[in-house]
Structure 1
Amino acid sequence: MKKSLIALATIGTLFTAAPAFAGGVAIDYSDLNLTTEKGQQALERRIDKAAKDLCQYNRLRTGSRLASRQIEKCYKTAKKQAAQQMAAIVDSERLGG
């Protein structure tokens, strides 16, 4: 059975001051051919958007256009986690899934 989701989550305990960061999202890639560079780039864009949405990276903040350190940490953690999953999935796809 071909898996078609990447789970992207943040650890709520890391962000005790901002519980809105705790949670997760699934990223569907069943429509992508991950053996091609184009498919991998499309998945990377989906991961980036999901990480930004999950961590409220683009949310308007009063007084500053800069993301807080917590938001930056959330975003980087989510991207790193998803990149590890993506690498394993791409390797699996190259080997015939």
Structure 2
Amino acid sequence: MKIDLLNKKGKIVFNEFSLNKNIPLQMQLDSLKEDMMQIKYPNGYILDIGWRPSFNINGHFYIYLIKDFNWEKPIYSNCTNDINTLEYQINQAINKIK
């Protein structure tokens, strides 16, 4: 993916994101998990990426940007079932980090 996840001085705290965008998601079901990646950024930001429901092709990626552990009111949230759109949405979330 063309994402600079650490461009805002982020620290990867969890990374099990192993998808290949050149392979259909149906052939990568074992990699579609609720907890795929989490990155902490300065000033209390957390980027969280996963797939729900896990291992189910009918699910979707979710992207949350959280500030100060306020999971009830994300700064950014979105979902998609397309890996190319996921790339775009992650970049949108990262651009909201101040």
State TM-score, norm by structure 2: 0.29
Higher RCO structure (Cα 8 Å, ≥6 apart): 1
Which protein has the bigger helix share? 1
Over alpha carbons, which structure has the higher Rg?
Answer: 1
State TM-score, norm by structure 1: 0.29
